[in-house]
Structure 1
Amino acid sequence: MQAQCTVCLILLLFVVELVIGRSDLETLLEVKKGFKEDPSGKVLISWDSKSLAADGCPRNWYGVTCSEGHVTSIVLNGVGLIGMLDFPAISSLKMLRNLSVSDNQLRGNVTVEVGFIESLENLDLSHNMFSGSIPLELTDLKNLVSLNLSMNDMEGDIPFGVGSLEQLRYLDLHSNAFLGNVTALLAQLGGVLFVDISGNKLFGSLDLEARKGYSSFVSKVKYFNISHNNMSGELFPHGGMASFGSLEVFDASYNMFAGNLPSFNFAASLQILRLGNNKLSGSPPQGLLQQSSMILSELDVSHNELEGSLGNINAENLKLLNLSSNKLSGPLPGSVGRCEVLDLSNNMFSGNVSRIQSWGNNIEVIILSSNLLVGSLPNETSQFLRLSSLKISNNSLDGLLPASLCTYPELKVIDLSINLLNGFLLPCLFNSTRLSYIHLSSNTFKGTIPIEAMTLQNPALITLDLSKNALSGHLSLDLIRFRNLESLDLSNNNFEGDIPTNLSDTLKYINVSCNNFSGPVPQNLLRFPNSAFHPGNSLLVFPHEEVKLNGTSYLSSARRGPRLKFAVIAAVVAGLVGTSSIVALLMYMVICKTHQVDGGMENCAKGSTLSAGPTSDLSVRGLPAQTRKIEAVSSSISPTRIQYPSKSPKPLKVSSPDKIAGSLHLFDCASKFNADDLSCAPAQAMGTSCHGTLYKAVLESGHALAVKWLKEGILKNSKDFAREVKKLGNIRHPNIVSFIGYYWGPKDHERLILSNYVDSPCLALYLHHKNPRTQNA
Structure 2
Amino acid sequence: MNLKALPNLFLLLVIAPVFVTSLNPSLNDDVLGLIMFKADIKDPKGKLVSWDEVDDNPCSWVGVRCNPRFNRVTELNLYDFSLSGRIGRGLVQLQFLRKLSLAKNNLTGSISPNIARIENLRAIDLSENNLYGEVPGNFFRQCGSLREISLAKNKFSGEIPASLSSCSTLASVNFSSNQFSGTLPPWIWSLSGLRLLDLSDNLLDGEIPKGIEGLKILRAINLGKNGLSGQVPDGIGSCLLLRSIDFGENSLSGRLPENMQKLSLCSYLNLRGNSFAGEVPKWIGEMKSLETLDLSLNRFSGQVPSSIGNLHSLKILNFSGNGFTGNLPESMNNYINLSALDFSQNSLTGDLPLWIFKLATQKVMPSEDKLTGSRNSPLYTLKVNAIQNLQFLDLSDNAFSGEITSVVGVLSSLQFLNLSKNSLCGPIPGTIGELRTLRNLDLSENQLNGSIPLEIGGAISLMELRLEKNFLVGKIPTSIGNCSSLSTLHISENRLNGPIPAAMAKLTNLQIVDLSFNNLTGNLPKQLANLPNLRSFNISHNNLQGELPAGGFFNTISPFLVSGNPSLCGSVVNKSCPRVLPKPIVLNPNSSSDSNPSYLAPNFGHRKSILSISALIAIGAAVVIVIGVIAITVLNLRVRSTTSRSPAALTLSAGDDFSHSSTTDANSGKLVMFSGEPEFSTGTHALLNKDCELGRGGFGVVYRTDLQDGRSVAIKKLTVSSLVKSQEDFEREVRKLGKVRHQNLVALEGYYWTPSLQLLIYEYVSGGSLYKHLHEGSCGNLLSWNERFNVIFGTAKSLAHLHQLNIIHYNIKSSNVLIDISGEPKVGDFGLARLLPMLDRYVLSSKIQSALGYMAPEFACKTVKITEKCDVYAFGVLVLEVVTGKKPVEYMEDDVVVLCDMVRGALEEGRVDECVDGRLLGKFPVEEAIPVMKLGLICTSRVPSNRPDMGEVVNIMELVRCPSDGQEELG
Unaligned runs of 5+ in 2: 1-17, 360-385, 580-719, 735-750, 760-856, 863-889, 900-940, 943-971
Bigger mean CA deviation after superposition, 373-382 or 485-494: 485-494
Instruction: Please report how far the alpha carbon of residue 381 of structure 1 lies from its aligned counterpart in structure 2 after TM superposition.
Output: 6.1
* 2:571 and 2:722 in contact (8 A); partners too: no
Residue 473 in 1 paired to residue 467 in 2?
no
Mapped contact 1:512–1:532 kept (Cα < 8 A): no
* 1:48 matched to 2:52: yes
Contact 2:548 / 2:570 at 8 angstroms: preserved in 1?
A: yes
* Contact kept in structure 1, 2:435 and 2:459, CA below 8 Å: no
Tell me what 1:316 maps to. 312
Match of 2:113 in 1: 112
CA RMSD of superposed structures (Å): 3.8
Cα displacement (A) at 1:348: 0.6
Q: CA, structure 1 residues 541+31, in 2 after alignment: closer, same or farther (shift >3 Å)?
A: farther
Name the CA distance, whole Å, in 2 between partners of 1:334 and 1:223: 32
| Distance of 2:34 and 2:536 partners within structure 1 | 52
Structure-2 separation of matches of 1:405 and 1:392 = 13
Give 1:161 deviation, angstroms: 1.8
> Deviation of residue 93 (structure 1)?
1.6
Aligned to 1:224: 221
Query: Aligned with 2:93: secondary structure?
Result: coil
Q: Is residue 443 of structure 2 the alignment partner of residue 447 of structure 1?
A: no
- 1:390 is aligned, of 407, 417, 432, to 417
The runs of 5 or more residues in structure 1 that have no matched partner are 1-11, 567-659, 666-690, 693-709, 715-745, 748-777
1:459 lines up with 2:469 in the alignment: no
Q: CA deviation at 1:466?
A: 1.8
Cα deviations across residues 47-98 of structure 1 (Å, max 9, x unaligned)? 3345x3xxx1225422122333332221111232233222x12122212211
* Aligned-pair identity (%): 26
Seen in structure 2, the aligned counterparts of structure 1 residues 194 and 354 have a Cα distance that, compared at 3 Å, is closer
Is 1:233 matched up with 2:260? no
Partner Cα separation in structure 1 for residue 154 and residue 276 of structure 2: 31
Q: Would you say the 8 A contact 2:524–2:549 is kept in 1?
A: no
* 1:216-615 alignment, distance < 5 Å: 216-217=214-215, 219-236=216-233, 239-263=234-258, 264-288=260-284, 290=285, 292-312=286-306, 313-314=308-309, 315-336=311-332, 337-338=334-335, 339-353=338-352, 355=354, 359=358, 361-362=386-387, 363-380=390-407, 383-452=410-479, 459-495=484-520, 496-498=523-525, 500-501=527-528, 503-507=530-534, 510-515=537-542, 516=544, 518-525=546-553, 530=558, 533-536=561-564, 539=568, 541=570, 548-549=576-577, 554=722, 556=724
Q: Indicate conservation of the 8 Å contact 1:431/1:459, yes or no.
A: no
Displacement after TM superposition at 1:131 (Å): 0.1
Task: Report the TM-score, using the length of structure 1 for normalisation.
Answer: 0.65
Is the contact made by 2:535 and 2:553 (CA closer than 8 Å) also made in structure 1? no
Query: Normalized per residue, which structure has more strand?
Result: 1
> Over alpha carbons, which structure has the higher Rg?
2
In the alignment, which of 31, 37, 43 is matched to residue 37 of structure 2?
Answer: 31
1:161 to 147, 160, 163: 163
Change (3 A) 1:529 1:151: farther
Q: Does the aligned pair in 2 maintain the 1:281–1:306 contact within 8 Å?
A: yes
Secondary structure at 2:314 match in 1: coil
Q: How far 1:513 sits from its partner (Å)?
A: 4.2
Q: Which of 177, 180, 188 lines up with 1:178 in the alignment?
A: 180
Determine helix, strand or coil for the equivalent of 2:532.
Answer: coil
The alignment covers a number of residue pairs equal to 556
Match of 1:69 among 59, 62, 71: 71
Shift of 1:548: 1.9
CA contact (8 A) 2:504 2:528 kept: no
Rate the CA distance shift 1:664–1:118 in 2: closer, same or farther, 3 A. Answer: closer
How far off its partner does 1:133 sit?
A: 1.2
Q: 1:517 to 1:268 in 2, by over 3 A?
A: farther
Tell me, in whole angstroms, the C-alpha distance in 2 between the residues paired with 1:79 and 1:517.
61
- SS in structure 2 at match of 1:417: coil
Partners of 1:222 and 1:249 within 8 A in 2: yes
Equivalents in 2 of 1:401, 1:59: separation in Å? 67
CA offsets per residue over residues 483-532 of structure 1, 9 Å max, x none?
44444333333444235335443445544444436434443325866377
CA separation in 2, counterparts of 1:494 and 1:131?
61
Deviation at 1:15, TM superposition (A): 4.8
Report SS of the residue matched to 1:444. coil
Give 1:726's aligned residue: none
Give yes or no for contact 1:390–1:415 (8 Å, CA) kept in 2.
yes
Say which SS state the counterpart of residue 139 (structure 2) adopts.
Answer: helix
Q: Per-residue deviation at 1:99?
A: 1.2
Instruction: Indicate if the aligned counterparts of 1:163 and 1:190 stay in contact, CA closer than 8 A.
Output: no
Give the conservation status (yes or no) of the 8 Å contact 2:213–2:237. no
Partner of 1:723: none
Partner secondary structure for residue 505 of structure 1: coil
In the alignment, what sits opposite 1:57? 57
State the SS of the aligned residue for 1:135. coil
CA distance in 2, matches of 1:403, 1:711: 61
| Deviations 1:527-563 (CA, angstroms, capped at 9, x unpaired) | 86637734445736469x9772469984536599899
Question: Which amino acid in structure 2 is aligned with residue 234 of structure 1?
Answer: Q
- Shift in alpha-carbon separation, 1:13–1:269, aligned structure 2, 3 A: farther
**What is the deviation of 1:404?**
2.3
Secondary structure at 1:501's aligned position in 2?
A: helix
Q: How far apart in 2 are the matches of 1:711 and 1:447? A: 54
Q: How does 1:661-676 map to 2 (within 5 A)?
A: 663=860
Cα deviation digits, residues 732-764 of structure 1 (max 9, x gap) = xxxxxxxxxxxxxx99xxxxxxxxxxxxxxxxx
Assess, with a 3 A threshold, how the Cα gap between structure 1 residues 24 and 531 changes in structure 2: closer, same or farther. farther
Contact 1:547 1:553 in 2 (8 A): no
CA distance in 2 between partners of 1:531 and 1:231 (Å): 51
Note closer, same or farther for the CA distance 1:486–1:185 as it changes in structure 2 (3 Å cut). farther
Q: Secondary structure at the match of 1:242?
A: helix
Name the structure 1 match of 2:207.
Answer: 205
Q: 1:306 to 1:22 in 2, by over 3 A?
A: same
- CA separation of 1:42/1:436 partners in 2, compared to 1, >3 Å: closer, same or farther? same
- In structure 2, do the counterparts of structure 1 residues 77 and 478 end up closer, same or farther at CA, with 3 Å as the change threshold? same
Residues 86 and 107 in structure 2, CA contact (< 8 A), matched pair in contact too: yes
**Mapped contact 1:17–1:69 kept (Cα < 8 A):** no
Moved more, 59-68 or 415-424: 59-68
Tell me the secondary structure at the aligned position of residue 405 of structure 1: helix
